[in-house]
Amino acid sequence: MEYTIMLGSNLGNKLMYLERAIEQLSVHCGTIAKKSQVYETASWGFEAPSFLNQAVIVVSELMPKNFFKKTQKIEKELGREEQYKAQKRYYSRTIDIDILFIDNLIINSSELIVPHSRLANRRFVLVPLSEIQPNKVHPILNKTVLDLLQTCTDNSDVKLFCD
């Protein structure tokens, strides 16, 4: 299966957290088939340090539920603090691993919603995603990632990160 992932970090050595997440995904989840460049964006929905974001495609034999559990374990191992998750919708984190797409599947369970429910409304997701999957068709909206980016109403600044 092909998993399209979005990584984000806005605490500590952000670039290192993205790199370690990719390394852990390759060890525990599958083969890294493609990754975007790293982008820097302002926090979305709350006041906090800027985020680094990167889109990644992982080819895996894991079923969605197991893949999701592995990503949650990687987040925890890389220092994501779960106690904040219940308190706030948006908060700073060492690493965030979101599953955007799994092939062309549509999943709507209590644990996992795929495609990611808010990806079409966020430039910080669509810009890196359009770099690696511009022609990927959203299986619910029936629009390509590039089309979604062109019609996105979020005007947040998303710029290439230069370390």
How many Cα neighbours within 13 Å face the side chain of 127? Answer: 19
Q: How far apart are CA 111 and CA 149, in angstroms?
A: 27
Residue 103 is a catalytic residue: no
Which of the following is catalytic: 20, 93, 122, 123? Answer: 93
Which residue in 91, 58, 97 sits closest to 77, CA to CA? 97
Residue 103 belongs to domain with CATH number = 3.30.70.560
The yes-or-no verdict on residue 36 having pLDDT over 90 is yes
Q: What is the percent of the chain where pLDDT is above 90?
A: 84
Average pLDDT, the chain: 92
Residue 20 is a catalytic residue: no
User: What's the domain range around 85?
Assistant: 2-160
**Which pLDDT score, from 0 to 100, does residue 21 have?**
98
The yes-or-no verdict on residue 157 having pLDDT over 60 is yes
Number of folded domains that form the chain: 1
